[in-house]
Chain A
Amino acid sequence: DAKTTQPTSMDCAEGRAANLPCNHSTISGNEYVYWYRQIHSQGPQYIIHGLKNNETNEMASLIITEDRKSSTLILPHATLRDTAVYYCIVRVANYNAGNMLTFGGGTRLMVKP
């Protein structure tokens, strides 16, 4: 799987949008971008994933650049409960067997009142 690069930490004001960047310049054509987060003392939680197009769900939006070498996870209205470590992971979506996730250091997002 391609390697990703994320800032170590970020702050965001409560109620504002949190924009978390991720670089994945070596991504290959069949690799998806996945985002997970880990809230303190909990297991990692799936947020969203995408291949080429921008994606949105009830939790977040994912913006992928046209060359697919970077992406941004957007939490439109961050709350204190969004304080967590956010992981950007690139992997092949193997629909037949499933693949392991390779976690990096992630971005520690601190949402402040």
Chain B
Amino acid sequence: EAGVTQFPSHSVIEKGQTVTLRCDPISGHDNLYWYRRVMGKEIKFLLHFVKESKQDESGMPNNRFLAERTGGTYSTLKVQPAELEDSGVYFCASSQVLQAQGQFFGPGTRLTVL
């Protein structure tokens, strides 16, 4: 079974540019989560999809961040325009609806904003 995949693994952009991160969850997982760790801080929740619907987006920092999950499969997280403080590692995780094990994480996308 393939795990959660994320693309790209690294992204370096300049302040003001736009970046789109992609996450492919484990096949059949309805729940998809985005988290991030900014430099020196703890891993923080951003938002949660159930299929294509946003279940909880309380962790989204501001309106420069837009997450989508069209068709309930893969998800994208767009940052527009990127700011210096957006640098960090963005993780995606997925889980089945009925699963006590919690969430399976991807390897993350390291975003550097210069």
Interface residues of A (CB under 8 A from B): 32, 34, 36, 38, 41-46, 49, 93, 95-98, 100-105
Contacts and interface: CB of A to CB of B under 8 A. Distances in A.
Q: Is the interface of A mostly helix, strand, loop or mixed?
A: loop
B95 A98 contact: yes
6 contacts: A42-B108, A43-B105, A44-B91, A45-B105, A95-B100, A98-B48
Given A43-B93, A44-B43, A97 B107 contact: no
Interface of B: 4, 31, 33, 35, 42-45, 48, 50, 55-56, 59, 91, 93, 95, 97-108
A96 to B, nearest CB: 7
A34 B95 CA distance: 15
Nearest to B108: A43
Contacts of B91: 43-44
Contacts of A101: 33, 35, 43, 45, 93, 102-103
